[in-house]
Amino acid sequence: MKIDQVSDSVYAVAGTNVNWALVTSDAGVTLIDAGYYGDTADLLKSLGEIGHDPADVAAVLITHAHLDHIGAIPTLVEKVGMPVYTGAAEVPHARREYLEQITPKEMLQQLTYSAGRRWVAQTMIAVRGRMDLKVPSAVSADDVDLPGRLTTIATPGHTTGHTAYFLESEGVLFSGDALVTGHPLSPCSGPQILPAFFNQDEARTRDSARLLENHPARTIVPGHGPSIQVNRESA
């Protein structure tokens, strides 16, 4: 686990090949995404590292409901009972009324090269057999006064209801997997989309990435890869 403070109230945390973010405010802590199930202990530790505990979590915002972004939510809901929000179109996915996820066949195809084998091994350890995870308490973040003064941005493609979040007061964009800056299966670094087999709709994924690349954020905290500062004057 690695914690970086990227603005006055935002901490970006790197877990097992995936990130979550902690946004502090008078309302407490707003958690954006929640890592793998195997990241739960580190997620709870990350709260302590910034001087908070689970009881301070006012809400969880999910960019999308893949297993690497909802892992610690069952534990947090049991401990705290806080609300869990996501985009309206992602709510049924979070509740597992349907599933959009990399298939077992696509996972097996990654075993044909070394980086893929490492990623599959790390992923299986992080999932810890909890392929059944869901968030039955998820509700729509749209038109809700979210803790931390965050607003939603619909970014469909990676999943049907993928949603990014923006903290306007500090210029921080939480892009989830609509726009990332790295991944173990990507040979390059910097703003990019994930490999096509991760995305439900490739064309919409590219459209959403372009939307976020042109967003007036000063800092981007992605779902995978390091946070980046955006120099709009030279962009």
Domain limits of the chain? Answer: 2-129+136-229
Q: Which residues contact 76 (CB under 8 A, 6 or more apart)?
A: 31, 34, 54, 57, 60, 82
Neighbours of 233 (CB within 10 A): 5
Position of tokens 């990435």?
Answer: 209
Long-range contact list for 117-120, CB < 8 A, 24+ apart? 118/184, 119/17, 119/184, 119/185
**Residue 14 Cα distances to 27, 31, 90, 117, 223, angstroms:** 24, 13, 24, 21, 9
pLDDT higher than 80, residue 234: no
pLDDT band at 183 (very low <50, low <70, confident <90, very high): very high
pLDDT of residue 26: 87
Res. 128: pLDDT tops 90: no
Q: What one-character DSSP code corresponds to residue 36?
A: -
Closest CA to 30 of 39, 21, 18: 21
> Quick one: pLDDT at residue 235?
43
Q: pLDDT digit string (tens) for 14-61?
A: 999 999 999 999 889 999 999 999 999 999 999 999 999 999 999 999
Provide the pairing of β-strand 219-222 with 172-176: parallel
Q: Which residues of 90-121 are buried (b: 16+ CB within 10 A; e: fewer)?
A: bbebbbeeeebbbeeeebeebeeeeebeebbe
User: Nearest 5°: CA angle at 37, between 109 and 96?
Assistant: 75
Task: Identify the architecture of domain 2-129+136-229 in CATH.
Answer: 4-Layer Sandwich (3.60)
Are 179 and 202 contacting, i.e. CB atoms less than 8 angstroms apart?
A: no
Cα–Cα distance, 26 to 214 (Å, whole number): 30
The pairing of beta strand 172-176 with beta strand 163-167: antiparallel
Q: How confident is the model at residue 125 (pLDDT cuts 50, 70, 90)?
A: very high
Cα distances (Å, whole numbers) of residue 5 to 46, 180, 227, 233: 12, 18, 10, 23
